[in-house]
Structure 1
Amino acid sequence: MNSPIENFMRVYMFALEKHLQSKKEEIAEIPFQSDEANTDRPLKEYLKQEIESNFSSIPETFDIATVTTNTNNYNVKSLKNISINSVLLPDEISDEVKQNIKEKKQSIYTNPDLCFELNINNSIEYIPIELKSTKKNTIPGSSVQQIDPNEWVIFIKRSSTINITTGQYINAITTKIPFPDRSPRPEVSFDSLCNWNKKHRIVSNDNLRFNQDNDLISKQSIIYDWQSFLSNNWIDILFTSSRVKDNEPWFNNNLRKFILLFLDKYESLSKEQQSNFKNKVKNLIKK
């Protein structure tokens, strides 16, 4: 992925992270919603105002000359013609803009927390932005059907001090999916995104380099094949757990009871009945 817009976002979001880190005292004064999974309107309004007024493009003084992904180099000067016309809040996103975003998403559309209206050579592009805020480290993320792994995230950790990082959604995902009450919501972590940036987003002299992530396929499986991912987790609970952990989910105990009942039933079947049962279950799995 090396289009001008993609490279602009790589450089711009890195620069925005540095800019917002200089605004920690202002951000600390913003009231946050009590729900860990949501960042509220005051933060969105602050970011809208700050970006539109003070940070609508890659600064001329920004000392990154090239951006590198894998073996591809891109001159940052060629990105200086891209700017942010406006930052749209959820209730400012028109039906036309929603349709524009839907046509480019593979996931189910939901209103983004913010939407950048980019101007590139007098052509308009819309870039959804996700906001995450937590007092701790991890929070439940979006439901798997709504996740766009390449969507850009502004992640704020607000403990005793304010900490800020940016990156793409896929790099904030941990390897955990809490037991789903409705639709599974893979866990996201501030530290996961920070650690990914330290390992894969490298600044050397005036070059910003994004190294290949060898764990990308396993992360993508959490999104695109989450049922198999959960199933393997449950197998691990049954076959690798030698003791009951403190504060483990209630489902773990239910799973142990279920497997014993299942084995009693399955072992009572003849070989032919077992084979027929296995084939029946396979045929019932939705593709």
Structure 2
Amino acid sequence: MPAATLSLALLAGCGAESAPPAAPAAGKASPATDSHGKRRQMEAMRADCMKQKGFKYVPNVPAPLQTISEERRLEISGDYPAMLKYREKHGFGVYFTFAYPDDPEEGIPDPISDPNMELAQSLSKTQYNAWTAADNACYAAAFTTLTGKKASSMDDVYAQADNLYVKTKERRLDGDPRLVELAGDFGDCLKSEGYPVASLKPTAMAFSTGLLFEEERTANMVKRMKSGEAQTVEAVRMPPGEARPHLAKEIKAALDDLECGKDFYAAFRPRDSKLLEETWNGFGRKDGLLPY
């Protein structure tokens, strides 16, 4: 879960689509101008498939991701001033969205924005399990038809994409002599500041300190769900008052991390971002076939 989450967190800020042109006068999307044309096809296929299986499904075509700002692009590419400005406010980007849910800068979609989530939550456990099994089969069939890639569910698509990305970057980046040298210096500095370093591999160092906060937030979410304190969506949405003390600690760690790793990030991030974008777009993200 952490690897996939971190991959998607980066994707939320790189390789985003620009806003599509206005729809044709007739009100029907044109394949030549509709950047979400394949997503519309997928949603229509899913709804029809679900209907045939005896279930309701609401076609869901979200607005295309907006083009990121030049400042955010620089931050993702490892530019030190841009990274510093971002981390002073957002830390690693783990708790900020939960601490300040009305701030638009993170660009992470509200998990309840899909009307099918509300529909699913209205079902009994038995109905929900049947609905989910049908939806997984319908999504997989539509995804395979539109991409030619075999999958058993949406989760399987995400797992395949993330596994390919991780294996590719490990093969290409962990063996790079210059990145290995910079990662070693980065790790030694973090250790001197009192932060744990599990591995000095470049791909591990890229998320070394930030992963600590991601794992902490995930553990908190699981704990709240198991205790019955919150349902799934509410558990994902950590209350702002609970998230802000975590964010303060995260910002401090993110700034320490940046000072130790600024040379490493400048060399690593551009190559990593390019691999990330290429991999996930190969699984249909740019065409809207993945919800985020």
More helix by share: 2
Greater RCO (CA < 8 Å, at least 6 residues apart): 2
Q: Larger % of strand: which?
A: 1
- What band does the TM-score fall into relative to the shorter chain? under 0.3
